[in-house]
Structure formats: structure tokens, C-alpha cells
Amino acid sequence: MDKKEQHYTQAINTTLRIGFILLLLVWSFEIVKPFIMPVLWGIIISVSIYPLYTKLAKLLGNKTKLATIIITISLLAIVIIPSFLFIDSAVSGIQGLTSDMENGTLNIPPPNEKVQEWPVVGDAIYDFWALSNNNLRDALEKFTPQIKEFAPKLLSSAAGFGSTILLFIISILIAGALLPTAKASEKTAKSIFNTLLGTHGVGFVELSIATIRSVVQGVLGVAIIQSVAGGLGIMLIGIPAAGLWALIILLLAIMQLPPLLILLPLAIYGFNIADTTPAVIFLIWSILVSASDAFLKPILLGRGVDVPMLAILLGAIGGMMMSGIIGLFVGAVVLSITYKVFKSILVDDILEEEKV
């Protein structure tokens, strides 16, 4: 075999090997693809709660396994119990609504005359509300095509909610498994990123940890506080489906949208179902809940790792479009990390050029 044939043979063998490796990589990626989001969320959870884990382990006499079990069970309870209550409340509400409609006992209160004074939509809402008060069946028949179109989407959303809860549970279990191996995982991460980014490797890991904790505390933490506070006010004023409204407030707060978008219409509705004093208190409470991020974020958001709200908003919306509700959480954190890392690298490069 001459040199030319040897060259062709080596080229073919190399191409086949590269193709085989690429095939394995693509195949492996497709296998682990469903677990990428839960694993990422599990890593984010473990990084954000690691300081709490170390403190608890010290209080328990350095019993790391016991600390891991306590934290994991606590996180599972935080996810499972409200989800169960929400599902139970939603099912009971739908069953009660269906029963009242079948028995003809469903009573829609008459609209307040002030509803007509609302700009743009006041007359339309008042007319439909009045029709529902007089004859609910006729009111619903007007929207039969929309209801038929919306019903399958509602069922799909309900199924998606169940799968999201399952993904959260899997992520928490992954986080619990990662906590005891945090130091070894950090060393591995530094080694990997030293290889990929050179001198920026160690700084990348430290910056990622700081950004994760900052975003989780300053964005997700504030969103959870606003959601719980808003849901509590909704429940006390007597508005139905408080759990559902609280969930919507949570999603809005994560996307950096004011909870007042939901709370204000509910507060206006509160004047129609409650006395003036509690309705006014609920309105003031709604405004305070929506404005609470102004003083909560400076407290919870870590110093030196501030992230533009646009990055968080794009990450949350893009993550949700890509992977559902769990992507809402992961997307905000991942895009924030990306922003901080590129900013750090660019700043370091500029400083190095100025020194030269």
C-alpha cells in the first residue's frame, strides 16, 4: 500500500471514529434530555441551600446524613403539601360548581352599578355579569364555542401541573443526593472549567455559586413571599380559588411583573363581595404586597452579583417556553449566570489589555 492509499485509509478511519463518537454523544444526549432540567434545578437547589445544610449539620454534631434527610424531607413537604391542598381545593371547587349548576342552586351576586363606570370594558362586563345573575345558562351558552376550545387546553394544563410537581420532587431528591458531595463536586467543577476557560475557571465556579444564591434568594425568594402574602389576603377576603391566584402571582413575580396585575382586579371584585372596611384593607394589602420587592430585594439579593431584570425576565419566559414551569425557575438562573460570566470575562480582558 503506497502513501496515498495509507492517507485515504487513515482519513476514512478517522472520519468513521469521529462519526461514531458523535453518534454516541447525540444518542446519549437524547437519552438524558428528559432529565436535564430536573438535574439543573437539583444543582441550583443544592447550591442555594448548602449554607443552611452546613449550619444544620453542625447543630446536629456533624451528622451530615441526618441533616440531608431533614432538609430533603422539609423541601418535599414544602412542595407536596401545598400542591395537594391546591389540587384538593380545585377538585372540590369544580365538583361543587358542577353540582350547583346541575341543581340550579348556583347563585351569582348582582353586579355593582360602579362596574359600568370602568373604562373600555365596564359596560360589557356589567352586561355579562347581570345576565349571569338572571340566567346563568343563557350566559354560558353565549360562550359555548370558546368553552369547547378552552376545555382541552385546561385539561392539558392540569396534566402539565402534575408532571411539573413530579419534576420538582425528582429535583429535590437530586439536590439531597448532591449535598453530601458538595466539596468534591466543587473541585470537579473547578477542574472542568479550568480546562475549558483557563485562568477564568475558578472564578467562574465562584461567580456561578454567588449568582445562583443571589437569584434564588432575591428573585425566587421574593416571588414566593409575595405569592404567599397575596394568597393569604385573597383567602381572608373570601375570594374563591386562592391557591390558583397565588400560583399566578408567583409566576408573575418570577417574571418581574407586578402582582398588582392580578391583585388589583381581585381587590375591585372584593368591594362587590365584602364590606367596605375589609375591602379597603385588602386593597391596601395588595398594594403593599406588590411593592414589597422594593425593600425585600435589597435585603435578599446578594451584593456584587446584581443582575439586570431584563436578563431574569428573558430567562424566565424563555425557560418556561422551552421546559414549562420548571424552566421558569431554571431559565432565570442560567441566563443570569451566563450574563455575569461573560461580563466578568469581558472586564478581565479589558483590564489585561489596559495593562499591556
Question: Is the dihedral angle over the CA atoms 348, 350, 351, 353 positive or is it negative?
Answer: positive
pLDDT at 75 over 80: yes
pLDDT at 231: 87
Cα three-residue angle 165-170-171, rounded to 5 degrees: 95
pLDDT at 114 over 70: no
Tell me the C-alpha to C-alpha distance, in Å, between residue 254 and each of 10, 23, 212.
54, 38, 14
195 vs 335: which has the higher pLDDT: 335
Which residue type does 208 have?
Answer: S
Report d(CA 224, CA 311) in Å as an integer.
Answer: 19
342 vs 77: which has the higher pLDDT: 77
Residue 257 — φ and ψ, nearest 5°? -100, 145
pLDDT at 304: 47
User: pLDDT per residue over 123-174, tens digit each?
Assistant: 677 776 676 666 665 656 666 665 555 555 555 555 556 677 888 888 889 8
Average pLDDT value over all residues in the chain: 76
Average pLDDT over residues 84-100: 65
pLDDT at 353: 56
pLDDT at 147: 55
Residue of 80, 330, 83 whose CA lies nearest to 216: 330
**Domains in the chain: boundaries:** 35-355
pTM for the structure as a whole: 0.63
pLDDT at 265 over 70: yes
Cell 485562568 belongs to which residue?
A: 199
Confidence of residue 285 (pLDDT cuts 50, 70, 90): very high
> By percentage, how much of the chain surpasses pLDDT 90?
3
Average pLDDT over residues 294-322: 71
